[in-house]
Amino acid sequence: MVALLGLTWGATFLGIEIALRGITPFWLASARIGFAAVLMLGIWALRGGQLFLSERRDWPVVIAVSALSTAVPFMLLSWGQQYTTSGFAGVSMASIPLMILPLAHFFLVDDRITPRKSFGFAIGFVGVVILIGGQAFETTGAQLEPFGRLACLCAAGCYAVSSIYVRRLPPIDPVGLAAILLAIGAVIVIPLAWAVEGPPPRPPQETLIVLAILGLIPTAAANLLRIVVIRTAGPSFMSLTNYQVPVWSVILGASVLAEPLPPSLLWALAFILSGVALSQWEALKRLFAG
């Protein structure tokens, strides 16, 4: 599941870049979540529609997870990728494990920071600094590119916080949780898209096909896999996915969209992946040993 998620999310940024040619960013996010919500709600209904979430105090957490794992990061990524490359968006996702490390240490009892993790965190942090450094901004020439890059990094932060929240939820049906998260996300993002960008546009057929694929695979199916991995193996192990995401996004962005590969982007990728690999060495050994 970790390997499949890496490839799927790595290719997502390529799909977003293509879809933005025919639709505005917030409506792109709305279409992704809307397609996925309808699909997952249908599957959940066929399974009986049981959620097993009895405590009222858990519902605010579910709403927060929905906003941080779907609505907010989808809008940030869709908006940010207007001004930056799909490769940068993918590399920025590699900073998620670096954000998860301190969050897991303070909020999860079974995922503490060790000296090796701290050293890996420091190496990875150097990569993030390079990632947002001056040379890294010289790729598309767009006036708002720095803000586009910041939006991508903020989306990564949303994913990190939501991973901690998902782990802290009580026992719950993963299919039902995925369906509810996507449904709440659709309720959040569609009115915002209408308020900011007006009525939904009529995208060309090519864009509709890309939107359907984005909703089906990297949103609905991948969201379910993400929940299963976090609930069974923890958010830090889930962060292994982000080793692969930037690699695939950079490769696909360069090969399909002819996006540039500046040295700063490649150096950032090397530092970030080295840092997270060192910090999660035990998880890597379990992955390949099992």
- Would you give the distance in Å from CA 148 to the centre of its chain? 16
What does the CA dihedral 222, 251, 145, 81 come to, rounded to 10 degrees? -30
Task: Using CB atoms within 10 Å of the CB of residue 233, give its burial: 0 to 12 exposed, 13 to 18 middle, 19+ buried.
Answer: middle
When pLDDT is averaged across residues 226-240 and rounded to a whole number, the result is 76
Closest by CA position to 77, among listed 32, 131, 135, 46: 32
89-101 per-position pLDDT tens digit: 777 877 787 788 7
Distance CA 135, CA 232 (A): 40
Degrees to nearest 5, angle at CA 183 with 182 and 185: 60
Distance CA 155, CA 264 (A): 21
Distance CA 93, CA 80 (A): 13
For the chain, what's the residue count?
290
* Residue 208: per-residue pLDDT: 92
Average pLDDT value for the chain: 81
- pLDDT-derived band at 288, boundaries 50, 70, 90: low
Distance CA 154, CA 263 (A): 23
Structure tokens given for 158 = 């949303």
- H or E element in which residue 288 lies: helix 281-289
Task: Quote the pTM value.
Answer: 0.76
Degrees to nearest 5, angle at CA 25 with 158 and 270: 50
133 DSSP 8-state letter: S
170-189 per-position pLDDT tens digit: 777 888 888 888 999 999 99
Closest by CA position to 78, among listed 37, 32, 28, 34: 28
DSSP letters for 76-89? HHHHHTTTS-HHHH
Structure tokens given for 51 = 């959620």
- Would you give the distance in Å from CA 75 to the centre of its chain? 11
Question: What percentage of the chain has pLDDT greater than the value 70?
Answer: 87
Is the pLDDT at 167 greater than 90? The verdict is no
* Residue 276: per-residue pLDDT: 74
When pLDDT is averaged across residues 188-201 and rounded to a whole number, the result is 92
Place of tokens 């010289």: 138
Tell me, letter by letter, the H, E, C secondary structure of 238-283: HCCHHHHHHHHHHHHHHHHHCCCCCHHHHHHHHHHHHHHHHHCHHH
Is the pLDDT at 138 greater than 60? The verdict is no
Is the pLDDT at 290 greater than 60? The verdict is no
Of these ranges, 4-8, 211-215, 244-248, the one predicted with the greatest mean pLDDT is: 211-215
Lowest mean pLDDT among 104-118, 130-144, 193-207, 243-257: 130-144
Degrees to nearest 5, angle at CA 30 with 26 and 34: 175
* Residue 137: per-residue pLDDT: 47
Question: What percentage of the chain has pLDDT greater than the value 90?
Answer: 23
Distance CA 94, CA 115 (A): 20
* Residue 27: per-residue pLDDT: 94
Distance CA 253, CA 8 (A): 14
Is the pLDDT at 260 greater than 90? The verdict is no
The larger pLDDT score, comparing residue 151 to residue 246, is at 151
97-127 per-position pLDDT tens digit: 778 878 888 887 666 777 887 787 778 777 7
Is the pLDDT at 136 greater than 60? The verdict is no
* Residue 55: per-residue pLDDT: 60
* Residue 196: per-residue pLDDT: 92
Distance CA 88, CA 153 (A): 10
Closest by CA position to 158, among listed 74, 61, 73, 32: 73
Is the pLDDT at 225 greater than 70? The verdict is yes
When pLDDT is averaged across residues 212-233 and rounded to a whole number, the result is 86
* Residue 189: per-residue pLDDT: 92
The larger pLDDT score, comparing residue 93 to residue 30, is at 30
